[in-house]
Amino acid sequence: MDEKTKNILIQKAREALPHAYSHYSGFSVAAALLTSDGEIITGVNVENSSFGLSICAERSAIVAAVAKQKRHFAAIAIVSSSAKPTPPCGACRQFMREFGDFEVILAGDNEEIITSVSELLPLAFLMKGH
């Protein structure tokens, strides 16, 4: 991915960050998902008083994309209210892997980590033929 596209993706994630609903933990996360056809779809974490019903930003973005009939992704940028890059949780890694192997950008205030879904989850559970 070129530098300009990467920076736009990070910026879109940062713009979405204030929309997170993180009243319980105070830890906001936003993601900007780049579809294979160039559309950027954002998502944020949405917490619930029944914590198991909360949804992470990465899954929120993917669900929004699938609702728009987008299922092929080139990259995702993830930002949080922390100054350091925030990696996705295990559930999000598995959820992302369902849709292939794509670039993952973890952006902090002064540091970026560029990786991929397969590097984050090398032994993913996948159904036959997927």
Q: Quote the strand ranges of the chain, DSSP E.
A: 29-35, 40-44, 73-80, 103-107, 112-116
* Higher pLDDT among residues 7 and 127, named by residue: 7
Of 3, 39, 58, 119, which is the active-site residue? 58
Domains and CATH numbers, the chain: 3-120 (3.40.140.10)
Q: Is 58 a catalytic residue?
A: yes
This prediction's pTM: 0.96
Q: What is the pLDDT of residues 58-81, one digit of tens each?
A: 999 999 999 999 999 999 999 999
pLDDT of residue 106: 99
3-state secondary structure 91-104: HHHHHHHCCCCCEE
pLDDT at 130 over 70: no
Which residues are paired to 46 by β-bridges? 21, 55
